[in-house]
Structure 1
Amino acid sequence: MTIKTKTFCLFAGLLLALPVQAWEVGEFKNGMSRSEVEQALKTWNFDKTVPVGNDGLFAYDLPNNPGGRRFLFTFCNDRLVEFDQEVEPDFRNFVTIASNYSNLYGNPLKVIPYTSVVASGEKNLLAMFWRKGSDYLGLKYVLYANSEQLSMTVQVGNNCWQAPR
């Protein structure tokens, strides 16, 4: 075998060895079907799991549960393309996570500042997204009139909507 052929074979082998799945959080992987996600969720013992429209699944613990977990799964053509996890809503946590992401992945790829009015009053959002390979890592901080929300998201490009969002 010539050096060019060996180099080509090595390069082709490396490409084939790349994982098909992009992101993986716990046992949840990009590309899982909705039924696979629902099956995996059974072992997590959430208090409630409810569908969100045709393309979402929301799993959460009730307020009296000390776990306080809240996961949102978004599907495109019955395949998992986005996972959101809420964390303790505190601006200090937002800054810490954003700093860690910036140290790991550089400046954000996209920043979305947004203000609107919803039924409960004003809604202010600051979302930041970084790129890691084919994945988009996001951090969203939302301030409502009477509450706040902080979530981390991981998503991949798909045919249903433009990532990141």
Structure 2
Amino acid sequence: MRALLSIDYTNDFVATRGALTTAIDGQNIEKNLVAVTKEFTENGDFVVYAIDCHKTDDLYHPEQELFPPHNIEGKAGRELYGSLLDLYESTKERQNVYWIDKRHYSAFSGTDLDIRLRERGVSEVYLTGVCTDICVLHTAVDAYNLGYKIFVRKDAVASFDPVGHSWALNHFKSVLGAEIVD
């Protein structure tokens, strides 16, 4: 079985005025990201929305020193971006759709994602979302270490750093054995 992990495609990471935005690069993948998410959802595959969640003034979070406040719980910046929000709202009650609040870069770190995948017999994970070289990368590394076959949807990942984006795509393929697919 396969699963789609939709990582951090929120207003703060994609909208033009998002707190830590990929801007046009993130906006340009919306159509492809939504189409593949819809395909997986309708096919009955497991679809996981793994979304960064921060608390206001969390002094102990390591990202405090690295990035401006973003994806704050209860704020508009944490809402899914564009038509992905509509897709999620219309499918969130399905048994194959699952939401994970994540506190770290990787969707596996501190969550029950591995358990949810294994109980469904998932062996292949398809990665979409942002940022290619941060949260998508760290999720891919953990997926590799846990023994999953990794597929990265090149047409459905983006970053605010073009060099980091290219580096991560190469790293997925050459170091993690991932298949880069469109």
Q: TM-score, normalised by structure 2?
A: 0.26
Larger-gyration structure (1/2)? 1
Going by fraction, where is strand more abundant, 1 or 2? 1
Higher RCO (CA < 8 A, seq sep 6+): 2
Going by fraction, where is helix more abundant, 1 or 2? 2
